[in-house]
A and B are shown apart, each in its own frame.
Chain A
Amino acid sequence: MNRRNFIRSGCTFCAGAIGAGFIVSTMCSCASLPIYKGTTEQNKISIPLSNFKDSKILIVRNNQMEFDILLVKNSETDVNALLMKCSHQDNQLTATKNGLFCSAHGSSFDLQGNVTKEPAMSPLSKFRTEINNQIITVFLK
């Protein structure tokens, strides 16, 4: 192996190793988002506030609903409830700590449901919420 090839392959290997290490470390540090499986009663879902212990966002899953709901805790008295359905073509959304993303066509939304990247043009559907006695109630209608 000549000097040029050695430098080239050495640099390629190092860059690959650093890149792989970065990806693995970021993936390990990124824990999965908590999912709360709730049931609906009279078009309402109740979620204990204690579920927000480790994260300010929580996915609420209910078998009677086609899409999940993302709860975003803005403060002790204010929680957003966003339907995780893209306003562009009704695809499921992927939620992260930084926003919601549509893997199908690239739309993205902030944690308030506003469009941050097209092709979606309308904000996400929101549900009214109430907090009483450490229980969040999401009104589905």
Chain B
Amino acid sequence: MNKDIYLVTGLFTPRIGIINENHLPTTFNGNDRPFVETFLIPATWRELGVCLYGKSNKITGLNYSLGLVNGLNSGSFEYGTGIREGRFEGRNASASNIAITGSLLYYINHFRIQASGYYGGSAGLTKREADSLQLSYGAFGTPVMLTEADIQYNHNGFEFRALATMVQISEADKINLAYANNTPNEMIGAYGEIGYNLLHLFKKDTQKNLTLFGRYEYLDLNYKIPENGITNDLLKKSFLIGGLTYQPIKGVTVKADYVFRTTGEPNPALIVNPFPQALPYYKTNGFFNLGIGYSF
């Protein structure tokens, strides 16, 4: 539109969180993307719509976005994966409800600070179908709200990033009545990560990267549940991740990490047909991961 504002239409990734727009394996530490940005912010989250992006000439470093996208489908929500399976991602988009998404992004003194939000309907049905399932119909019927704030710092080989997010589904009880998928009212999650490029110790302007990093994540996928929901401490998870990221050249990365996962006790009421020889559930587990990634 001009040198400060542009418009994106079609299938695009809204500016929500860190990973959604910036998801190539060479841009984050660890083999797995942050779990908070997998289960709470369902990155990579593409939707059909239109979005205005711009930057301010009055305040250096301030960027913004405001978009209108196709909504979610609460009928596809799967227990334990948040709203992830409710994404249309362009395929078979019903356009029977819509969502608004917006962000403020500010660059200052090697910091990148962002806040973003999403509010949209999730009935994903025609009026007749929604009425028969007693779901709220309309542009924002059966709403889902996601709010998020994050901060990143990069300078002199040191990097830091942190993110906190919350998903609210105010009519989760109606979704449970319609689909019995144990949808929660609220889900929360946050993580913090620090890393340092060890090669920076030997050469300040190195183009190679050998980052030692550590990350802690906490998420609760049934932070608040409706009256007809069933709580499960299994969905309260924390992850402690440590590892190395090596980039011999730009666009290529070799990763090694260890993930220590802790969860709550599973609710036996949710095991409908218990298997007599079922193995015991361990609340803590460790995983070694090795991987190679590239971008092109």
By a beta-carbon cutoff of 8 Å, the part of chain A in contact with chain B is 23, 26-27, 30-33, 35, 61, 66-68, 92, 94-98, 101, 103-106, 108, 115-119, 121
Contact = CB atoms under 8 A, between A and B. Distances in A.
Interface of B: 3-4, 6, 15, 18, 21-22, 24, 26-27, 53, 55-63, 105-110, 112-113, 154, 207, 250-251, 295
B60 A31 contact: yes
Contacts, number: 78
B110 A119 contact: no
A116 B63 CA distance: 20
A108 B154 contact: yes
A118 B251 contact: yes
The residue in A35, A105, A106 that gathers the most chain B C-beta atoms within 10 A of its C-beta is A106
A118 B60 contact: no
A30 B61 contact: yes
B154 A118 contact: no
A30 B56 CA distance: 12
Contacts of A67: 3
A118 B21 contact: no
Given A106-B21, A118-B24, A119-B26, A30 B3 contact: no
A33 B53 contact: no
A103 B59 contact: no
Pairs of residues from A and B, 9 with the lowest C-beta to C-beta distance, nearest first: A106-B22, A103-B63, A121-B250, A96-B61, A118-B26, A119-B24, A33-B60, A101-B107, A32-B60
Contact of B154 (A115, A116, A121): A116
B24 A30 contact: no
B55 A94 contact: yes
A95 to B, nearest CB: 8
Nearest to A110: B205
